Amino acid sequence: MTSILTNNSAMAALQTLRGISSNLQSTQQAVSSGLRISKASDNAAYWSIATSMKSDNSALGAVSDALGLGAAKVDTASTAVTSAIDIVGQIKDKLVTAMEPSVDKSSVQQEIGQLQQQLQSVAQSASFNGENWVMAQSGASASVVSSFIRGTNGTVSVSSQAYSFDTGATGNVLFGAKASGGIDTTSGILGTKDSTAKASVFSLNITGMTSGQLSSALNMVQTALNSMTSLGSKLGSISSRIDLQTSFASSLSNSIQSGVGKLVDANMEQESSKLSALQTQQQLAIQSLSIANSSNQSILSLFR
């Protein structure tokens, strides 16, 4: 039966065209955005996972920046310690030279005095972003971000590595610091007086010293060198850990980004083929609808 009120063929063709147009719109969006899942309605589970992991990845970027800042602090301190070791080594050489009875100790002391002032300058200059790890108050502490952690229960946290300052003769600062922030040249590895030599590396004055006193001073300087070498090793281990964590954070970020991509990124080869097919289907569906709509025209022939 043919009806002029109900055209079932046209309705079927229109329904098909609507479905094709909807699929075509989704495919065009995937092609233009590069995302197979761009909103929760596309796939709620995958969208939720991807959104959480993207947030974590962003936090890892911030952790990497913080690790870079911490590395700069440690590297600045390590450079200062290395420089101080070289200077104290020169003071040691001067003491060995002063052991010769014919050497003018006052002239040697002038050279040592210049080196001592350079030690103070090195310690005061080793500051990065307002923090100085080689000149600090006893009992004070600093920290560097070490990692970002997401627990299995969904909680997140940032861990840090603490570093406490010790201003003793075998501590981990070259000089102590006063409450006002100024340098305290009577504490720290270079400022603490040795009980035998009755002097520190910074306060050492060899003018008028006897051979025995010079030997005690030489032992005191060697002890300071040993302490600075230990400090350099400690800073080096912290720097090494930061480098490892930075490398891990970078690799983890890449892995997360790759995993998120597998969940939500569109397969461009597949989407391209799908787009061509849907465009062809759309044209055929339009043609089919046109044919279905024209079928009613045949009714007119019955009334001629």
Residues 260 and 275 both lie in one domain? no
Residues 18 and 161 both lie in one domain? no
Residues 206 and 113 both lie in one domain? yes
Q: What is the mean pLDDT of residues 70-88?
A: 94
Nearest to 286 by CA among 22, 21, 109, 44: 21
Six token digits for residue 244:
């490892």
Lowest mean per-residue pLDDT among 47-56, 118-127, 202-211 = 47-56
Tell me the C-alpha distance between 155 and 149, whole Å: 8
pLDDT digits (tens, 9 = 90+) for 218-274: 999 999 999 999 999 999 988 888 888 888 888 888 888 888 888 887 777 777 788
Residues 54 and 102 both lie in one domain? yes
Residues 150 and 197 both lie in one domain? yes
Q: Are strands 135-136 and 141-150 parallel, antiparallel or unpaired?
A: unpaired
Residues 49 and 153 both lie in one domain? yes
Residues 129 and 19 both lie in one domain? no
Residue 179 lies in a domain: yes
Q: What is the mean pLDDT of residues 194-223?
A: 93
Q: What is the mean pLDDT of residues 179-201?
A: 92
Residues 125 and 244 both lie in one domain? yes
Rg (CA), the chain: 38
Task: Tell me the CA distances in angstroms from 90 to 22, 220, 221, one per residue in order.
Answer: 81, 14, 10
Residues 104 and 195 both lie in one domain? yes
Lowest mean per-residue pLDDT among 16-20, 71-75, 300-304 = 300-304
Domain that holds residue 114: 45-264
Residues 140 and 284 both lie in one domain? no
| Residue 126's CATH number | 1.20.1330.10
pLDDT at 70 (0 to 100): 87
- Mean pLDDT over the full length of the chain: 85
233: CB partners within 8 A, 6+ apart: none
Residue 40 lies in a domain: no
Residues 132 and 280 both lie in one domain? no
Residue with the larger pLDDT of the pair 2 and 185: 185
pLDDT at 86 (0 to 100): 97
pLDDT at 271 (0 to 100): 72
Query: Residue 183 corresponds to which amino acid?
Result: I
CA atoms lying within 13 Å on the CB side of residue 94: 26
Indicate if the pLDDT at residue 1 is higher than 70: no
Indicate if the pLDDT at residue 133 is higher than 90: yes
Question: Total structural domains in the chain?
Answer: 2
Residue 1 lies in a domain: no
pLDDT digits (tens, 9 = 90+) for 10-42: 788 788 878 887 777 777 777 777 777 878 877
Residue 2 lies in a domain: no
Q: Is 146 helix (H, G, I), strand (E, B) or coil?
A: strand
Indicate if the pLDDT at residue 200 is higher than 90: yes
pLDDT at 251 (0 to 100): 86
Chain centroid, CA 44 distance in Å: 32
Residue 39 lies in a domain: no
Question: Which long-range CB contacts under 8 A does 193-201 form with residues at least 24 apart?
Answer: 194/169, 194/219, 194/220, 194/223, 196/220, 200/224, 201/88, 201/91, 201/116, 201/119
Q: Provide the percentage of residues in the chain whose pLDDT is more than 70.
A: 91
17: CB partners within 8 A, 6+ apart: 282, 285, 286, 288, 289
Altogether, the residues listed in the chain come to a count of 304
Residues 251 and 128 both lie in one domain? yes
Q: What angle do CA 10, 14, 20 make, to 5 degrees?
A: 145
pLDDT digits (tens, 9 = 90+) for 134-174: 999 988 998 887 776 777 766 667 778 888 999 999 999 99
pLDDT at 276 (0 to 100): 81
Q: What is the DSSP letter of 69?
A: H
Residue 95 lies in a domain: yes
269: CB partners within 8 A, 6+ apart: none
Nearest to 136 by CA among 144, 146, 126, 151: 126
Residue 239 lies in a domain: yes
